[in-house]
Structures are given as structure tokens and as C-alpha cells.
């Protein structure tokens, strides 16, 4: 029988990082949040130039794609300063997937499918929160696979009053979402 690693030490490590971040100073990531949204849109533009090139065969769209890609890489370097392994690519894909879920949710909402839009928006926010969790060093790539759920982990500035998720347990993505709500405030000047 294969031994499974206890998630409790990983959750405790995560909680320690969050508490240290909270004690150090109040975070104001509003500029980085704006920049992350700009990066999402740059990724979408890269995709559109790719499809437009393939539909038209006009090489000017490849040149535009390359210019946008360089702009996106420069912007991403402002948020992702130090990274190991695949964090750069994971971060890019987290933002891209978050943006796509957001767009699908918006289209569902426009069609009157509120339940479908809520599901897409929740998926979008979870991926966006994981992006920030990685880039604020709250979780690492090794922890993503092993930090699943814990009943006992609490974050002092996060409301634990909300209805628990599956089996009375909030996932790490739910907890990261709460951290992002507290840490990233676009209304701070």
C-alpha cells in the first residue's frame, strides 16, 4: 500500500507564510493586479494574432504576435521576479486560463445562464488566486500537488464563517482566494 504524505505540515507552512506576510505590512498590490489583467489581455491578443495569421496567411500578424509576446514577457518579469522550474510557464498559463474562464462566464451571463457563469467565474478566480499564491511565495510548485485540504488550518484575517466546501473542508484554492481578496485591493491609491 502506498503511503500518502500528510497535508497538515504543508498547510501549517502555508499558514506561517500568510501570517508573516500579514505582520510585515499591509500589502498593496493594486498596480501588480492591474498589470496581471493587462498580461491576461496580452496573452489573448497573442492568441488572436495566431488565429488571424492562420485564417488569412498574412505574415504581418506573426510580426504583431511577436511584438505583443515581447511586451507580455517584459510585463510578466515585473511580477515574477524570482522563479524556479516551471513557475514562469505555470504563471502564464494560470493567467491565460483564468482569462478564458472569465470570458466564458461573461458570455454565459449575457445568455442568462447565471449558474453557469458563476461556475466559470469561480474557476477563474481560483486560478487567479493560485497565480498570486505562487508569486507571493505562499505556495510552491511542490506544495501545489500535496496541499489539498485541511480541517484545522485557519488564517486569522480570513473569515472562517463561510459555508465549508466538500466534506466541511475548504481547499487551498479557497484559502488562497481569501488571501487575494485581502491582499490585492485595486481601490487603494
C-alpha cell at 148: 489539498
**Confidence class for position 14, pLDDT limits 50, 70, 90:** low
The whole-chain average pLDDT of the chain stands at: 75
Q: What is the dihedral of CA 54, 55, 57, 59, to 10 degrees?
A: -60
Instruction: Choose among 185, 184, 85, 92: nearest CA to 131.
Output: 92
Q: Between residues 98 and 9, which one has the greater pLDDT?
A: 98
Q: Provide CB contacts within 8 A for 75, sequence distance 6+.
A: 35, 38, 39, 42
The H-assigned helical ranges of the chain are 8-24, 30-56, 60-79, 87-110, 114-135, 141-146, 172-183
Convert the pLDDT of each residue in 48-104 to its tens digit.
999 999 999 999 999 999 999 999 999 999 998 777 778 899 999 999 999 999 999
Range with the poorest average pLDDT among 14-23, 104-113, 129-138: 14-23
CA distance 10 to 118: 30
Closest CA to 131 of 73, 170, 173: 173
User: CB–CB of 179/138 below 8 Å?
Assistant: yes
pLDDT of res. 87: 86
Q: pLDDT > 70: what percent of the chain?
A: 58
Residue 10 has pLDDT above 70, yes or no: no
CA distance 168 to 149: 10
Q: Which long-range contacts (CB under 8 A, 24 or more apart) does 98-106 make?
A: 98/40, 98/124, 98/125, 98/127, 98/128, 98/131, 99/40, 99/41, 99/43, 99/44, 99/124, 101/127
d(C-alpha 82, C-alpha 76), whole Å: 11
Over residues 153-166, the pLDDT tens digits come to 443 434 444 444 55
Domain boundaries, given as residue ranges, for the chain: 28-183
Query: Is the pLDDT higher at 185 or at 111?
Result: 111
Amino acid at each position: 500500500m502506498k503511503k500518502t504524505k500528510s497535508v497538515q505540515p504543508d498547510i501549517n507552512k502555508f499558514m506561517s507564510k500568510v501570517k508573516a506576510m500579514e505582520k510585515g505590512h499591509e500589502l498593496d498590490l493594486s498596480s501588480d493586479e492591474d498589470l496581471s489583467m493587462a498580461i491576461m489581455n496580452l496573452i489573448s491578443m497573442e492568441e488572436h494574432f495566431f488565429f488571424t495569421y492562420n485564417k488569412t496567411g498574412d505574415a504581418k500578424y506573426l510580426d504583431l504576435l511577436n511584438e505583443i509576446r515581447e511586451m507580455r514577457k517584459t510585463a510578466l518579469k515585473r511580477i515574477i521576479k524570482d522563479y524556479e522550474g516551471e513557475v514562469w510557464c505555470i504563471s502564464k498559463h494560470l493567467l491565460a486560463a483564468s482569462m478564458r474562464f472569465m470570458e466564458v462566464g461573461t458570455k454565459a451571463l449575457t445568455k442568462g445562464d447565471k449558474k453557469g457563469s458563476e461556475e466559470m467565474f469561480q474557476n477563474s478566480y481560483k486560478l487567479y488566486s493560485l497565480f498570486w499564491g505562487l508569486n507571493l511565495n505562499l505556495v510552491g510548485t511542490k506544495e501545489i500537488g500535496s496541499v489539498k485540504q485541511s480541517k484545522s488550518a485557519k488564517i486569522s484575517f480570513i473569515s472562517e464563517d463561510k459555508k465549508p466546501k466538500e466534506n466541511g473542508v475548504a481547499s487551498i484554492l479557497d484559502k488562497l482566494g481569501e488571501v487575494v481578496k485581502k491582499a490585492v485591493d485595486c481601490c487603494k491609491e
